[in-house]
Amino acid sequence: MTLIVGLVLLAANLFCFLLFAHDKAAAVHGERRVPERLLLLSAAMCAAPGALLAQRWLRHKTRKQPFGAWLTLIVFAQACALAGLVVLAFQPE
């Protein structure tokens, strides 16, 4: 079960990274862009690490506001949820 969850999370983060990469390429070539709402939604679907990695490596959407604030909020919420799951997992019965 853990392997399946890990693979799903890996796939979600890879998809998010590739979506950011596609949007960056579209921006460079003056083509139709991926809506910011879709980029944020993909990050919110347990793929914030992929979004952050793409943002840093591709230097994409680093100064755009309020996009950056929303992405930071998503990362913070996911980190809190993960911390809560870790605490619950190690609770004595």
* Residue 66 domain boundaries: 2-89
Q: What is the pTM assigned to this prediction?
A: 0.89
Say how many domains are in the chain: 1
DSSP the chain: -HHHHHHHHHHHHHHHHHHHHHHHHHHHHT-PPPPHHHHHHHHHTT-HHHHHHHHHHHT-SSS-TTHHHHHHHHHHHHHHHHHHHHHHHT---
The per-residue pLDDT string of the chain (93 residues; one tens digit each, 9 = 90 and over) reads: 789 999 999 999 999 999 999 999 999 999 999 999 999 999 999 899 999 999 999 999 988 899 999 999 999 999 999 999 999 989 887
